[in-house]
Homo-oligomer: A and B are copies of this chain.
Amino acid sequence: MDDKQIMISRREALVGSGKVAAGAALLSYGAASLFTPAMAMAKETVKFPWGYTKIDPAEAGAIAYNNWFKHFCCYAVVSGILEPLQREIGDPYASLPLIAFKWGHGGAVGWGTLCGSLNGAGIATGFIGGHEGEKILNDVIAWYTETDLPIYKPKSPKAQIKNVNTSDSPLCHISVGKWMKKEGVAFFSPQRKERCARVSADVAMKTVMLLNDWKDGKYKETHGSNVKEHGLTTQLNCMECHGDDVPEPKR
């Protein structure tokens, strides 16, 4: 069996949309060998992490904004980042059902924990960069907590909103709750939905901008380890829940 055949993954050879013809040509002289042990080896050529090619932050933002209205925040950001990679890279991204990550909405099926847009950024950077992706996610979360959001201005907004706010927290409940109070609107209002769709666009765009820097070798992580710094997994708004009585974790 030709070495080249072994190095071509089953995905590239068989279903990578633009690569079917090439696969057919390479394999035409011995299709029976598809079912030799060498084929099992070929599976291993799908390396992890899945990698990255630079994409347009504006496209990621537009997809995320629009897809929020289909399946909410987590799906919005996953698809904002990975839909362009499905097109540009093909498999394994193309075979990943992005709808599988819808459950992250509302801080995990409405429990108000990790903002679904950040969960989506974690899922995307996990596939793209593996352990390296964690640095980017860490920086995206820090940026999210410190920044007046939303920034994104859709071409065709579905509702008009007046306010931006800094969440000081990656938690859905705190982030959206503060904004709702400022805007004076209810959770099921068109304004709140508009805000969350725009925040999803912001997170998708920020993540893509850092990923593009990373691809160019220009990315430097900026946020350190919360755990090492504080002796416990934590956000950085301690007094918001603890008041003046912030416990000192045992070291």
Contact = CB atoms under 8 A, between A and B. Distances in A.
Interface in A200-251: 225-227, 231-235, 240-241, 247, 249-251
A109 B137 contact: yes
A31 interface: yes
Contact of A233 (B49, B50, B112, B137): B112
Contacts of A108: 114, 118-119, 122, 137, 141, 170
A110 B15 contact: no
A193 interface: no
B114 A186 contact: no
A46 B20 CA distance: 18
Interface stretch (A56-64, A146-154, A157-165, A176-184): A176-184
Contact of A119 (B10, B97, B119, B141): B119
A133 interface: yes
A17 to B, nearest CB: 8
Given A225-B110, A250-B185, A130 B14 contact: no
Nearest to A234: B112
Contacts of A113: 107, 113-114, 170-171, 235
Contacts of A100: 48-50, 123, 126-127, 130
Most buried by B among A24, A95, A118: A95
Given A23-B35, A125-B103, A235-B173, A181 B114 contact: no
Contact of A141 (B34, B111, B141): B111
Contacts of A122: 103-104, 108-109
| Most-contacted residue by chain B among A50, A113, A127, A234 (CB, 10 A) | A113
Among the interface residues A107, A108, A187, which one has the most CB atoms of the partner chain B within 10 A?
A108
Interface in A1-39: 10, 14-15, 17, 20-21, 23-24, 27-28, 31-32, 34-35, 39
Nearest to A241: B241
A87 interface: no
Contacts of A110: 138, 225-227, 233-234
Nearest to A94: B43
The 5 closest A-B CB pairs, nearest first, are: A31-B31, A112-B233, A24-B35, A113-B114, A106-B233
